[in-house]
Structure 1
């Protein structure tokens, strides 16, 4: 078995076989001084990477938001976009998910993260592929492990009412904010607002021109925070900039609330397909391929139950322990 090596960005140099949490692999990572090490596994979904902790013995996360910031540091910690906890179930569910972002904030849910959580729990329990009912701050989410290794997630219904996203932008279609003007740095962006249990601002055009990812990509680091913390988004927002390839294929880059630029955002991919359908750019009831910097996701908004379905990978990177 190859030993994983972390580069200066916290990325793994060589892949190796999954290890079960609780059985310390030779690749154990120990950083930061504390009384006792904390066992974890690191998973990634299209490069959106998370530290997973089996916290099912307690309803309280064993790591504080401040500790999560340190653990997520790519130079002095393990490195990741967030820390995800598998907590005891609530009501008629299998478990509860909570997540602390790399800045210590707590989002309602994470699409790539919940695929990683389902894979993590299955690996820990040595369970056969199955469907999980997971309680989140965004409600019930149901990921299903498929035989081919992919994870298909019933993300539930999108929230379209502007004030519930939330945003103070004026509605343009009933109570929904679709292609509303928002001026940032002197440019007028057409914004559609959707919540997948967490807020998203989706942009397909600016100053009357459709988005070109290769051009906008260079501006994302400066532009993203100006959307995330804009006054029209009282709970801050995730922001997706989208280029249409055809009616069932789009490209996107994302600035995530609390994590900044990431390689993938599962809830964002879902939200942008909803926005594309509302704007008449994408077809409903057909699988839409969303190309993210970390790879593709398959998204469908079904008219049968009004639910969004997301399919994509979740993979173990390595397991170890950390002094939190």
Structure 2
């Protein structure tokens, strides 16, 4: 099967956007399609856009085929695509696996409201946990190189006792943060990608939330990742992420047409996807 997609990135976080309003994929397994297309086009994830009950919807699959409830930079890329393709207003809502999210396009920047930070807890003097659409463990420390972050990130992501302690036995994303001249620097080891990514929207939000508590600084906070910077804001208890997005071009992917559609979202643990109750 030949599938058309648009490749985009948000601060270096790369995605393929598949418009199911034009190319429906009912009857096919999006998990296996995502894995095939991600390998062909070297991307962090695949986003499927559709519409339910009059609102646009977004589903995000990691490059290993795991469906996530949310992705901050993916949401920002989806926002830009939908605004440029279908929607006349600069402010609208998108249904994600983590519920309805308010989004805004202003000039070359895209802002996404992730909602409240949830389930915060301090694990020890260095480790903090917070849920910002997906689970994040934030590690307070000093500057470290990517290879060290990769090794430590993989170890913590797979540390069963830590994951069970914070309530996510399947694993957590891991963010390493330290102070810099603008705000904080962030290096995120992402589940599903299983590596340090150039940027992570939900990770940047989680990192800024923890930094405000630990370092005594107030939001908005600039988070600097390998791929670029995001501004994390707070309004009425809700965290938003704001930064640029970029089109990388149209691509064609190929997937085996014998893939059956999954009976349920392709998750390896119990999750509450918002669209299942719609």
- TM-score tier after normalising by the smaller chain length: 0.7 to 0.9
1:199 match: 135
* TM-score of the aligned structures, taking structure 1 as reference length: 0.71
Q: CA separation of 1:311/1:203 partners in 2, compared to 1, >3 Å: closer, same or farther?
A: same
Q: CA deviation at 1:301?
A: 2.3
Which one of the candidate residues 135, 147, 157 is aligned to 2:116? Answer: 157
Q: CA deviation at 1:282?
A: 4.4
2:18 match: 53
* 1:49-128 aligned within 5 A: 49-56=14-21, 60=26, 64-73=30-39, 77-89=40-52, 91=53, 94-125=55-86, 127-128=87-88
Matched length: 247
Q: Distance in 1 between matches of 2:63 and 2:183?
A: 30
Q: Distance in 2 between matches of 1:151 and 1:53?
A: 19
Q: Distance in 2 between matches of 1:145 and 1:301?
A: 17
Which one of the candidate residues 242, 256, 261 is aligned to 2:196? Answer: 261
Q: Distance in 2 between matches of 1:62 and 1:120?
A: 23
2:166 match: none
Which one of the candidate residues 114, 121, 124 is aligned to 1:177? Answer: 121
Q: Distance in 1 between matches of 2:36 and 2:187?
A: 26
Q: Distance in 1 between matches of 2:233 and 2:201?
A: 12
1:318 match: 249
Higher Rg of the two aligned structures = 1
For the residue of structure 1 that corresponds to 2:73, the secondary structure is helix
- Is 2:210 the counterpart of 1:275? yes
Structure 2 gaps of 5+ residues are: 164-168, 256-278
Q: Distance in 1 between matches of 2:6 and 2:152?
A: 33
2:238 match: 307
Q: RMSD value over aligned CA atoms? A: 2.0
Which one of the candidate residues 149, 154, 160 is aligned to 1:225? Answer: 154
For the residue of structure 1 that corresponds to 2:67, the secondary structure is coil
Larger strand share, 1 or 2: 2
Q: Is the 8 A contact 1:141 1:154 kept in 2?
A: yes
| Cα deviation 1:223-260 (Å, max 9, x = unaligned) | 221111221211311111001125x6111111011112
* TM-score of the aligned structures, taking structure 2 as reference length: 0.83
| Cα deviation 1:187-241 (Å, max 9, x = unaligned) | xx71110001210000113xxxxx21xx342312222211112212113111110
Q: CA deviation at 1:69?
A: 1.2
Which one of the candidate residues 200, 222, 225 is aligned to 1:289? Answer: 222
Q: CA separation of 1:59/1:72 partners in 2, compared to 1, >3 Å: closer, same or farther?
A: closer
Q: CA deviation at 1:60?
A: 4.5
Structure 1 gaps of 5+ residues are: 1-35, 162-175, 182-188, 206-210
